[in-house]
Amino acid sequence: MVKLTGLKKIKTAVFISGAGSNLKNLIKFSKIKKSPISIGLIFSNTPKAKGLRYSNQFNIKKYVASFKNSKIAEEKILNLLKKESIEFICLAGFMKILSKGFIKKFNGKIVNIHPSLLPKYKGLDTHIKAIQNKDKLAGCTVHSVTAKLDSGKIILQKKVKISKKDTPASLAKKVLSQEHKLYPAAIKRIFN
């Protein structure tokens, strides 16, 4: 992970595809004096992402581009990131895979939050898999993004106990509330 230290906050873009609870949490974190980041852009691959409402609520620029043609979408995003002087990207429930070329351009400056204890359960349906396998522990991971899916260096992880009563939905809720603590802690670790 490349360190981007300085007096000014690091201008960050958050990429989302859905509800955006991690986005909202990161925005709140960014407003704390000691936070190393400011949020300058919200990107979504779909106009349906509920998290886009935080653009209006917190007065942050938003941009939507479909990944049906991911090459064109990535080109547009890269231009915008440059225009907005974005230095760092947080993926927060972003459900598209970025190309190797895109990741290379932001080498070491993209992080992701994943709802499992990586390297276990890369990809989708992590909570279903954990329950089906009768795991005792689930959790979440913040990691740096490399060209290989969910495989970059682990920055921080948080474990969550799975109870016998847990369903994929109840487990997702428990893990998500830990994600909201983990993501800011991981960002502090990266930059401080």
Q: Give the distance, in angstroms, between the CA of residue 23 and the centroid of all CA atoms in the same chain.
A: 8
The DSSP code sequence of 46-85 is: -TT-GGGHHHHHHT--EEE--STTHHHHHHHHHHHHHHTT
Q: Does 117 bind ligand GAR (CB under 6 A)?
A: no
Residues 109, 12: contact at Cβ < 8 Å? no
Torsion angle in degrees (nearest 10) through CA of 162, 26, 60, 19: 0
Between CA 133 and CA 43 the distance in angstroms is 35
Q: Does 113 bind ligand GAR (CB under 6 A)?
A: yes
Smallest gap from Cβ 8 to ligand GAR, in A, equals 26
Count residues near ligand GAR (CB under 6 A): 14
Report the residue from 65, 92, 155, 162 that binds ligand GAR according to the rule CB under 6 A: 92
Report the residue from 1, 4, 9, 18 that binds ligand GAR according to the rule CB under 6 A: 18
Q: Does 80 bind ligand GAR (CB under 6 A)?
A: no
Q: Does 115 bind ligand GAR (CB under 6 A)?
A: yes
Tell me which residues touch ligand GAR (CB under 6 A): 16, 18-22, 51, 92-93, 113-115, 176, 179
